[in-house]
Structure 1
Amino acid sequence: MASNPTPPPEPQDDPDRYVGLEGARAERLAREQGWTTVRPLAPGTLVTMEYRFGRLNLEIDDGRVVRAWKG
């Protein structure tokens, strides 16, 4: 039986640091920190619950990040 692949390492970055930033700036900074996928979301957007290594979700309301989380 094949072993499960080892997921790639995630950036050592705190998602909370993006809260309050302007959306485009937060996306740019997240990519500079090494996040492979940055997903901007409108408040209330339905998202799947699967965890993706290297993905940062940014909930953006009125142009500012109001919530940020991994996966």
Structure 2
Amino acid sequence: MAICGSGRGALTIGRSLIGDLGGRAAVAGGLDSARQRGEAAGCVMRVVASGHAPRCAVPDADPAPVGARRSATN
């Protein structure tokens, strides 16, 4: 589950709660990113509500190549 937050303590609690429910948290930015993430989640929910798989809205991607590009540009 993508979460946003700026406070280290709040992120720790959020990760713990998500883990308790069997999920895995991915920090997707600070609080300044929360609105954009919420809108993206709404888009995925509409795809699911219309009877389609969430992968139609968000295809599976390997994050390793993205990390490699970031390292190469720094």
Q: TM-score, normalised by structure 2?
A: 0.28
Structure with the larger strand share: 1
Where relative contact order (Cα < 8 A, 6+ residues apart) is larger, the structure is: 1
| Structure of higher CA gyration radius | 2
Structure with the larger helix share: 2
Q: TM-score, normalised by structure 1?
A: 0.28
